[in-house]
Structure 1
Amino acid sequence: MQKFDIAIIGGGHAGVEAAWISSQFDLKVLILSMPNVGLASTPCNPAVGGVGKGQVVREIDALGGLMGQLADQSAIQYRILNESKGYAVQSTRVQVDKDLYTKNAEAMIAANPNITVVKEKVISVEKNGDQFSIKTEASYFNTTKCIVTTGTFLNGKLHTGEVSTSGGRVDCMASAGMGEIFSSVQTLGIRFKTGTPARINKDSLDYSKFVEQKSDGRTKNFHSLNNPYERFVDQVSCYIAHTNERTLGIIRDNKERSPIYNGQIKGVGPRYCPSIEDKAFRYPDRNSHHVFVEPEGLSANTIYPNGVSTSLPKEVQLEFLRTIEGFEECEIELYGYAVEYDVVDTSKLSDCLEYIDIPGLFFAGQVNGTSGYEEAAGQGLIAGANAALSMKGKDNLVLDRAESYIGVMVEDLISNKRDEPYRLFTARSENRLYVREDNSINRMAKYRFQMGLDKEIDKYQQEFIEEFELLLGLCKSTSIYVTPENKEYFASMGYGDLSKNITLSELVRRSQLNPVETLEQELSKRGALFSSEVVYTCAVSIKYEGYINRSLIENERIYRLGRKKIDWQSIVRGNISNECRQRIEEVKPTTFSQLQRIDGIRPATLAFVAGNIVQ
C-alpha cells in the first residue's frame, strides 16, 4: 500500500488545481485519474474565461493556481468580452488548443516532484480512523486527506438519440456510482446533465459565409508573471454563423426522438447553457441563434460549433446542421451527446468544501453540481489549499464573497441543495464593481499571504501592492493648479474645464475621460515610471472609487453581519418555525451570510438570529 498526504480522485481542472496548490506545501500528493484520459482535458468547448469566468481565472492565478499559465501557453485566440460596457464586467476569454492544453498540463504536473499521477479506475474509498483507504483496479493507496473531483464520471451515462451507453465522456469509461464508491456520502437525489455539440470537419465549411472574429492583440494574458501581450503559439480566427427557420423546424419535428424530451434523460440540465433542443422549444417564435465556429486546435481537423449542443439522433444532427449557412456540406467527425452523472449534496459541505460528516474528505468541481472549467478549477484550488492547510495545522482558506467570485460560488453552493447545474455570473456578486479582473491581485494577495508560502508569485504580488499603493497615493496628493498654462493644456487635451485646483485622481475620475489613457498621459508628462499593469489597476480603481465607497457604506452592515459566525445548534433551539429549523439542521450554516441564502428562511428567523448573535 502506497501512502500519500493528499490523494485526489480525478484529473480534470478541479483535480489538477487541487494537486498544484497542495503540492506547494511540500506535501506528497497523488492524482488518481481514469486510464486514457488526459489531465485537465477540455471535453466540451476548448475555451477558458468569459463573463465572470475570466475573473475566476485571474483569482486562481493570484492565489497560485495553474489555469492561467496553461491558458496562456495554449491560447490560439484572445478576446475581451463586454468591452463596450464598464470595466467591472469586462472579461477575458481565450480559445485554447485542446491537445496542447492537456499536453502542457501533463508536462507541468510531471515536472512537479511532489505530485504522483496514477491512471487507474477507483473502485472504492473507505475511512479508517484518520486515514482513507483507496482501492483501484490494480492498487491500494492510503492517504490522510482525500479530494474527490470526478466530474461527470460518477455513474456517467451518454445519450445520442435512442442510443445510451455507459461513460463519463465519449470514448471514456464511467466510474461506479457515488453510493458504490463512497458508501456514506449523500448524493443530491437527482442527477445532472450536460451536453456537447457535434464536432465538424473544419475543411467542410464555407467560411466566406461567416462573420470573422480575429484574435485581439490588446487582450492581456491571464498569468501575472507573463508578459501581458506575449503570445506563445500562433493565433487564429473564430467565426459566427446563425441557425434559421429550417434548422429549428427539423429539431421541432423530431421532438419525440430527443432524449431530453422523450423521458430517456432524467437528469437536470444547465438552464443558462441550453441545448439547441431547449432553445427550439423554450423560444418557439425565435429561429435565429448564434453558432460560434471555434477551432479545437492548430493541428486539429475539427471545429466546435458552440451554441448547438444536442443529443438528437446522428442523422438528425447532420440534417439540421446542413441547414445553417456555411454548413451546407459539413461533415461530422464526432456526434453530439448528453451525459448524465451523480452529484454530491453540497449542503453537506463546509466553506472549505470538506464533507462535514467525514472530516478529511473534500469535493470539488462538476461533482458538486457546477458547470464550467473555471468554476471547477476554482473549487479545486479551495479544496486543495484547505486540505494542505489542515495537514499543516494552519487556518482555513475561506474567501469573502464581497471580495471574490470564487467566494460567491462556494457560499452559494454550500447554502442550498442544488436543483440545477450552477453557473457563475457577475450578477451573482453583490459587489461586482470591486470584484473585477484588473484588481485580482489587490483582492487575493492577502489570502495568498495567509497560506504562508514563498514562491516567485508571492514576491511579485508584494511588489505589485507596494507599487500600486505608491501610485494611488501620488494620484491623490498630486495637485493640478489653476494657471493659464494648465487651462490651455486641459483644453488641448479635451480634459474639460479647469476652474479650480484639482488632484490627479479627480482628473482621472472625470466621466468623459478614459481613466487609463488619462493616467498614462499624465504620468508620462511627469516622467513617472510605473508598470503598465499597476497603472491600469490604479486608474480603474480611482474611476470606481466613489461608486464602491457608496456601495460599501450601504452594504457594510449587511457584510459585517454576514461575516459573523453563528452556532446553528443554538439557533434551532430558539423560537423559530419548524420549517426554518429543519432547513437549518440540514444545511448547518456557520455564518449569518450562509443562513441568509438558505431557501425558505423567514425574515423573522433572520431577525431573531441577528439580535442574538454572540460570536
Structure 2
Amino acid sequence: MKESKEPSVNTSTDYDIIVIGAGHAGVEAALAAARMGRRTLIVTLSLDNIAMMPCNPSVGGPGKSHLVREIDALGGEMGIAADRASIQRRLLNTGKGPAVHALRMQADKFLYQRIMKETVENTENLDVRQLLVTELLTEETSAGKRVTGIRCETDERLTAHAVILATGTYLRGRIILGETIYDSGPNGQRPAMALSDSLRELGLTLMRFKTGTPARVDRRTIDFGKTSIQPGDPAAPAFSFLTEEMPREQTPCYLTYTNEETHAVIRANLHRAPMANGVIEGIGPRYCPSVETKIARFPDKERHQLFLEPEGLHTNEIYVQGMSTSLPTDVQQEFLATIPGLAHARMMRPGYAIEYDCLDPLQLAPTLAVKNITGLYSAGQANGTSGYEEAAAQGLIAGINAAREITGEEPLILRRSDGYIGVLIDDLVTKGTDEPYRMMTSRAEYRLILRQDNADLRLTPIGRAVGLVRDERWERFTAKRDVIEEALSTLRETRLSPRAETEELLADAGIAPLRVPMSLFALLSREGSYDVLAPLFDLPALAADVKEEVEITARYDGYIKKQREQIARMERLESRRIPEGIDYGAIASLRLEAAEKLAAVRPRSIGQASRISGVSPADISVLLVWLERERRIQS
C-alpha cells in the first residue's frame, strides 16, 4: 500500500523566520518564505481568522487589481484564492484605456478565509500557532540591534533569524461605536496591546491611524425592487494567470442611494459622531471616508451611492458599501431606514471605527526591512496602508527579502517601472504617509506599461528567479510569451503595399485604404482589431489573452515607446548610487530641510532622493556636484 506524503512538520522552536499576524500581509509573507525553503512560523491571535476579510467582501478595483495580478505573477496566493472564492466579477473602466482597466471580484469571504487557512496549514516548512506576541527580542551587536525572536503572553520565547511584523489593525486596537469604546481588534478579536510598547522601547516611531466599516443588514429584510441590480460580467477575466475557467453563475449586487432625509438624520446627530466630537484620535483614509464625513464635507451633494454586496453564498449578511460609520447604533438604524430598499432592513452588525498603531514607513528600507534593527521587516497596515491588496503585496516582498537575507542573497527591490508594487513601496519608504495609503492608478507615472493584463510578462521572470514560480506556471508563461513574440514578429515583418488587390481586399472588409506602404503591425495599430485582419491575411487564431497583448502593443506603440524612453532616463538617475554613510549635514550649499529629509530617508540613489518631499531639483544638483567631487577625490 502506497503511503501518502504528508507535509513535513517542524518541531523545533528555532525558526529562520517568524511572521507576526496572519492577515493578508502575514499569509503572503509566510507562504513566500516557506516556499523558498525557510523554516517559517506564522503566529496569529486566532487560527479561525486567518486571512479574514474584516471589511468589504471583495478583492481588486482601480489600482488594487494591478497589485493582485502582480502578486500572482510573482508566485503569490491572493489571486488564486480570490478566483476560487469568487461569486461575482466585473471589469471596471472599460470605457477608458487599458492602463486603467480594473478587475473587481466579490468573494465569499468565509470561503476565501477557509481556502487560505487550508493553504497555510498544508504548506511545507510552515508552522501555524495561535499566540499573542507581547515583545520583540533583540540583541546588541557591533552593527547595532538585531532581532532574535519573540516573547508571547505565556512567557514562551521563540527564536528566529528574521521577524516580519504583519500586525494589521491589532496594535493597541480600539473599537469606537458612538459612545461605546473598548479595546479590540476587528470583528471583536483580541487586540495586541503590549507589542506597541515593545516597539517603542526599541526606538521605533509609531503613528495612530483609523479605519472603519459599515453595517451589515439581513438580506431577508431588504426590498431589492427599490434598488438597481448590478449583475456580474461574464467576460471579465480571472485574477490568477493559472486559473483556466471561472464559474458561469454569478451573484448580483444592488445599487441604491442616500437622500436628503438620510443626510438630515446624520446632520442632526453629528454631535454624537466620534469623528466630530474628538473621541477619535487616529487619522482616517481620505479616499474611503465615513458617511458622516461625506455629509459634512460635501453639504451640497444631494446623494451618495451605496452598493449592497453579499458577504457570501451561505449567509444573509449584506455589506452596505459606501456607508462606513462610527455613529451610535440607534442613529445607524434610523438613517438606514431612509434609504430606498432598506426601509425595513434589520441590522445584523453595526458599523464601527477602529484605531490602531502603525509604523512610520520612513523607518523602512525599500526591502521593507526596518533600518535600525537587523532582521526585522514590516508589511501591510502595520506600515500605514489600507486595503487587503496593498497588505498582501507588501507581505510578499517582505517574505521574499527576509528569506533572501538569511542566505546572504541580494534583496528584491522592484522599481517604479517594474510594477505597482514598486510604486507602493517606493511611495511609502521615500515619501511616507500621513493617512492610510491607498493604491490608485494615478500614483503610477508609467501606468501604460504597468497594466494589469501584462503583469505576468513583467514579473513572472522575477518570480522564477527568486524561486516562487513553479514549473507549471513557468511553462504556461513561456508558452504564452513565445506566441505573443511570434505574432508580433509576423505582424512587423509582413509588409503591405497599396496595390489594387490589397486595396480591394481591405475595402471589402470595410477598412480604409493604405495609400502608403506599411507593415501589418502598423495596420493593426490603425485599425485595432486582430480578428478583423486575421482572415484577410491568413493569420493564426490567438487565445484571448494573447490577442489582447498584441492589440494593445500595436495600438499604443508610439505611447509605449515614449514611456520606455522616460523610464530609461529615470533609470540613469536610479543607477547613481549614494553611499550609505554620507553625512548630509556636511554638504555645503545643501539646504537644512533637504539635509534633514535626506538623512531621515537615506535614499539608495539619486532617483529615490529626487522623490523625497522637501528635496528640490536644486538640492539634487548640489548633491550630484558633491558626489562627483568625492568620486574624483577617491579616484
TM range (shorter): over 0.9
Contact preservation (8 Å) 2:136, 2:147 = no
Contact preservation (8 Å) 1:37, 1:172 = no
Q: Which of 47, 56, 61 is the aligned partner of 1:45?
A: 56
Partner of 1:170, secondary structure, is: helix
Q: CA deviation at 1:350?
A: 0.5
Q: CA deviation at 1:176?
A: 1.5
Aligned counterpart, 2:435: 420
Aligned counterpart, 2:294: 279
Aligned counterpart, 2:484: 468
| Alpha-carbon displacement from aligned partner over 1:419-465 (angstroms, at most 9, x marks no partner) | 11111111111111111011111211332233145612233323332
Aligned counterpart, 1:450: 465
| Residue range with higher mean Cα deviation, 211-220 or 578-587 | 578-587
1:549 paired to 2:561: yes
Aligned counterpart, 2:3: none
Q: CA deviation at 1:523?
A: 6.7
Change (3 A) 1:177 1:545: farther
Counterpart Cα distance in 2 of 1:112 and 1:58: 22
Change (3 A) 1:613 1:493: farther
Q: Which of 219, 235, 241 is the aligned partner of 1:218?
A: 235
Contact preservation (8 Å) 2:384, 2:435 = yes
Q: CA deviation at 1:288?
A: 0.4
- Gap regions ≥5 residues in structure 1: none
TM-score (norm 2): 0.92
Q: Which of 589, 610, 616 is the aligned partner of 1:602?
A: 616
Q: CA deviation at 1:170?
A: 2.1
| Alpha-carbon displacement from aligned partner over 1:565-602 (angstroms, at most 9, x marks no partner) | 21264360212112211111111111223212222113
Q: CA deviation at 1:13?
A: 0.4
1:257 paired to 2:272: yes
Contact preservation (8 Å) 2:36, 2:467 = no
Aligned counterpart, 1:588: 602
Contact preservation (8 Å) 1:78, 1:92 = yes
Change (3 A) 1:521 1:186: farther
Aligned counterpart, 2:33: 22
Q: CA deviation at 1:37?
A: 4.3
Aligned counterpart, 2:7: none
Aligned counterpart, 1:347: 362
| Residue range with higher mean Cα deviation, 472-481 or 372-381 | 472-481
Q: CA deviation at 1:252?
A: 1.0
Counterpart Cα distance in 2 of 1:187 and 1:238: 43
Counterpart Cα distance in 2 of 1:160 and 1:59: 37
Matched ranges for 1:345-494 at <5 A: 345-452=360-467, 455=470, 456-494=472-510
Contact preservation (8 Å) 1:519, 1:539 = no
Matched ranges for 1:305-324 at <5 A: 305-324=320-339
Aligned counterpart, 2:80: 69
1:243 paired to 2:254: no
Partner of 2:212, secondary structure, is: strand
Partner of 1:459, secondary structure, is: helix
TM-score (norm 1): 0.95
Q: Which of 334, 341, 344 is the aligned partner of 1:329?
A: 344
Aligned counterpart, 2:125: 114
Contact preservation (8 Å) 2:74, 2:468 = no
Counterpart Cα distance in 1 of 2:546 and 2:432: 41
Q: Which of 193, 199, 218 is the aligned partner of 1:176?
A: 193
Contact preservation (8 Å) 2:401, 2:412 = yes
Contact preservation (8 Å) 1:276, 1:307 = yes
Contact preservation (8 Å) 1:58, 1:437 = yes
| Alpha-carbon displacement from aligned partner over 1:55-82 (angstroms, at most 9, x marks no partner) | 1100000000000000000010010010
Aligned counterpart, 1:531: 543
Counterpart Cα distance in 1 of 2:535 and 2:254: 39
Contact preservation (8 Å) 2:64, 2:439 = yes
Q: Which of 272, 285, 292 is the aligned partner of 1:270?
A: 285
Partner of 1:558, secondary structure, is: helix
Q: Which amino acid aligns with 1:570?
A: I
Aligned counterpart, 1:142: 159
Q: Percent identity?
A: 37
Change (3 A) 1:186 1:420: farther
Change (3 A) 1:215 1:444: same
Aligned counterpart, 2:148: 132
| Residue range with higher mean Cα deviation, 138-147 or 66-75 | 138-147
Contact preservation (8 Å) 1:213, 1:237 = yes
Counterpart Cα distance in 2 of 1:474 and 1:272: 45
Change (3 A) 1:301 1:29: same
Partner of 1:159, secondary structure, is: strand
| Alpha-carbon displacement from aligned partner over 1:363-402 (angstroms, at most 9, x marks no partner) | 0000100001000000001100101111222211111101
Q: Which amino acid aligns with 1:597?
A: R
Partner of 1:370, secondary structure, is: coil
Q: CA deviation at 1:540?
A: 1.0
Partner of 1:489, secondary structure, is: helix
Q: CA deviation at 1:556?
A: 3.3
Q: CA deviation at 1:173?
A: 1.0
Partner of 2:582, secondary structure, is: helix
Aligned counterpart, 1:558: 570
In the alignment of these two chains, the number of paired residues is 609
Counterpart Cα distance in 1 of 2:280 and 2:19: 30
Contact preservation (8 Å) 2:70, 2:456 = yes
Contact preservation (8 Å) 1:178, 1:342 = no
Contact preservation (8 Å) 2:205, 2:360 = yes
Stretches of 4+ aligned residues off by more than 6 angstroms: none
Counterpart Cα distance in 1 of 2:197 and 2:190: 16
Q: Which amino acid aligns with 1:338?
A: A
Counterpart Cα distance in 2 of 1:131 and 1:417: 24
Q: Which amino acid aligns with 2:601?
A: V
Counterpart Cα distance in 1 of 2:570 and 2:190: 47
Counterpart Cα distance in 1 of 2:131 and 2:206: 28
| Residue range with higher mean Cα deviation, 563-572 or 377-386 | 563-572
| Alpha-carbon displacement from aligned partner over 1:133-181 (angstroms, at most 9, x marks no partner) | 2122343311111100000000000000011011111220100255423
